[in-house]
Structure 1
Amino acid sequence: MTLRLTTDRLVLRPVLAGDLDVLLAIRNAPAVVPTTGTGEALPRERMAERLARRLASWRDHGVGSWLVLHEGEPVALVEVAPIGEGSGVDPDVLEIGVVVHPDHWGSGFAVEAGLAAARDLFGRGGHERVVIGVDPDNTRSMGALAKVPGVRRLDADLYELTAAALADHPA
């Protein structure tokens, strides 16, 4: 049986090796590119490297990034990966980031998919917390983050969601 998460409107499934083109289409959509940390399109080779790391994470740790489907069509990506060095928090803590294709901006998919992934990490994954990095100038992302129940600001662009805080706000 394939792991899937479902919400009222969405299906999340682990990213697969064959998803490279759809991930690039979401991440490199012209309206998305300026909202990324680099402000540049991600080259195919770099996305292929990221995808390989996400596949290894699923294989080695049982957690990873999700492709988000609405009515069977890909609409978003939920990235799940260790935050790494330089963030000011434990580099092994998982960071969640949601990238929604601009055709679906304003739909609420970012919050819905992000919360589904977080609940999975807290439940099945056994994690106690995740972090969310958001550029404070990205008004769409800040608006979505404001709808996440129990989220706590750590610094100018880093937020934390704990299993305990989310448990106070059932799905």
Structure 2
Amino acid sequence: MDNFPNISPDEISNIESRAIKDTEQPLITLRSFLYSFSEKYGKPIGEGRHRLVFSYSDSEVLKVPKNKNGIYDNLFEWNLYLKLGSKQIPCMPVLAKCHSLKYIHKIPCVVMERVSPIKLSHYLGSIPSWANVIDRKQLGQNKAGVLVAFDYADLNSAAFTFSI
């Protein structure tokens, strides 16, 4: 994966080197990181292919990578949110707010607004067209009741382009 907004390939390589290649056994290091994180924050409240989601506060979640692709996903989501924020662009998803990018033990973790997942069947016929580009329809409502995408890392490989 590449094409991160506002981040060069050299910066990606540097982040990977710091986060993944600090030891001879990076998988063990990442597993122990996740284990210690679980001890502090409890069980994950969600899990995807590349990341775990922990409750960070009453209004926020923390997305923690569980592999190299999770690091890419966190960096992409953070940079896309920095670039787009809450702008409403035709055919572009409304993004859940990323509050910060925290480096925990040199691993980039996204702090995002907490949303309530929705059931698509409740929105039959009223889902906005941008929802079709979200991976596995990962949509939710924020506290204001706005429908937002809470996982938009796969927009990096989406089959459409947009200009800002």
Q: Tell me the TM-score normalised to structure 2 length.
A: 0.31
Q: Tell which has more relative contact order, 1 or 2 (C-alpha 8 A, sep 6+).
A: 2
